[in-house]
Structures are given as C-alpha cells and as structure tokens.
Amino acid sequence: MEWLFASWRHIRWYSVLGPALLALPASPAWGEGSWSASIGVTSDYVFRGVSQTYDSAAVQLGGSYQSPIGWFVGVWGSNVDPYPHAAASTEVDVFAGITRPLGSDLSARLAYTHYAYLDDPRPAHYDYDELSISLGYLDRLAATVSFVPDISSYSALRFAHRKQLAAFEVTSRWPVWHSISFTAGAGYYDLQRMFGVSYWAANAGLSYVYRKLDIELAHYFAQDSVRRLYEEQSANGTWALSAAMHF
C-alpha cells in the first residue's frame, strides 16, 4: 500500500501526482516498528504534471519509520530546478501521519508533509505545508484529497504569495505478468486562488520489481493550462525512466 499512498511525488507512479512516502503498510502490525530507506534516480522528476528539473535527471533519497500501531514519520529529498529557471536547489520533505485499517481490504491514511527548499536562489520563501487524507483498496487503488493552506509560487501569469491549493488524486497499480505491473493515475489541481486556473494531469506506465529494485517507465499527460502556467516545465508528452533501491 506504500506505493499507492505515495503523494505522486517521485519515482513510483507517484510521479505525476507524486514526496514519496516509504514502505508504509496498509494495516498496522503489532510488534516492533520497522525502518525503511530508499535511494533512486529518475530521468525527469515530475510532480503533478510539472517537471521539477526541466527535463533533467534527479537523485532522490528517503527514509521512514513505521510504528506497530500505525503512525509513521519520515524524510525524503531530491535535487530540483524550480520555476522560474534560475539555479538548482534541494527539496526536502518531512512527513508524519497515521494509517488505520477499515477492514480486510480497505485502509485510510492521514498525513502531514512539510516541503522545504534549501539553498533556493529565488528571492521569495517557498516552503509550504500539505495535509492529505487517503483511502486505499489492497495495494491496487488509492484516492487522495490534499489541501495546502500557505503555498507561494511563480507562474507565467503572476506570482502567488501564501495562497491555497487543493488536489484530488487517484493512483492504481495492477499486476500484468510475473514482476511487471501496469501503473496509472490522474489528478485534478485547483489553483483558482493562486492563478485563477485549474488543470488535470495523468500518467501511465510499466513497473518491474526485482528483489529490492523497482524500475518504472512512465508517460505523462498534462492539460494546456500547465504550459500556460509553467511554460517548458509542462510534462505533457514526457517519458521518464526511474529506478529505486529499497532497504
């Protein structure tokens, strides 16, 4: 279920919609808590239909702790080159939350994430917070609603300072053959209070898992509104190849 609940931020599907949450089971297991970590690389870091690296590669690291009663904490990071194109910086996401079973097949998750940008050369302050609620079915399907109360962002339309954003996202992963799975997802992003527009983004691809290695090839789609907002950072038509080792 960890893969499905990742917030569309990195190299699992989580690449249109989705900071990666790591190794978080659908139902809490009693006993000792578990630690997990990952190191990955992707040819293009795409988040919610927008390339965070201007069609360039990114290295991504993360680690998390899952308690036996369902709560979790973790951190995830990646190099980024945010809009407008100035100089590279580092994104660090710190997250915490709780996962609870709703039956044998369903689970719910409440998560808080703080997004921080280190050594950001842009003059404004871009750190922001996000609260999300997810509902998952086995490890096949998950739906997430997210709310950001305080985001600042540049776009080709204007600069938004401390505005609100809402996101509605669905991710899925279905086995195809042996260790190969079909991955897909779609999201709707309400930026009306920021820029007076909203847009859809999606992706589809294949994932191959060999022991602790996860390799994914994904194709991205984004509405024309993304190009209006972020110009060449639009991920519409982008292909990305990603690989991650989990420990």
Give the bridge partners for 175, in sequence order: 181
Q: Is the separation of the CB atoms in 220 and 202 below 8 Å?
A: yes
Which residue ranges make up each domain of the chain?
2-246
Element at 137 (helix H, strand E):
strand 128-137
3-state SS of 189-217 is: EEEHHHHCEEEEEEEEEEEEEECCEEEEE
pLDDT value for 119: 83
**pLDDT surpassing 70 at residue 84:** yes
Q: Of residues 26 and 138, which shows the higher confidence score?
A: 138
Tell me the percentage of the chain whose pLDDT exceeds 90: 79
Q: Is the separation of the CB atoms in 127 and 153 below 8 Å?
A: no
Mean pLDDT rounded to a whole number for the chain:
88
What band does 31 get if pLDDT is binned at 50, 70 and 90? low
CATH architecture for segment(s) 2-246: Beta Barrel (2.40)
Measured distance CA(18)–CA(12) in Å, rounded: 8
pLDDT value for 226: 97
What band does 139 get if pLDDT is binned at 50, 70 and 90? confident
Tell me the percentage of the chain whose pLDDT exceeds 70: 87
pLDDT value for 11: 35
Q: Enter the pTM of the model.
A: 0.88
Q: Of residues 120 and 173, which shows the higher confidence score?
A: 173
- The whole-angstrom distance between residue 138's C-alpha and the CA centroid of its chain comes to 19
> What Å distances lie between residue 49 and 39, 42, 111, 199, 223, CA to CA?
23, 15, 22, 9, 8
- Give the pLDDT mean for 52-80: 95
Q: Output b/e per residue, 2-23; b: 16+ Cβ within 10 A.
A: bbbbbbbbbbbbbbbbbbbbbb
What band does 127 get if pLDDT is binned at 50, 70 and 90? very high
> What Å distances lie between residue 134 and 36, 145, 179, 214, CA to CA?
21, 6, 26, 23
- Give the pLDDT mean for 209-213: 96
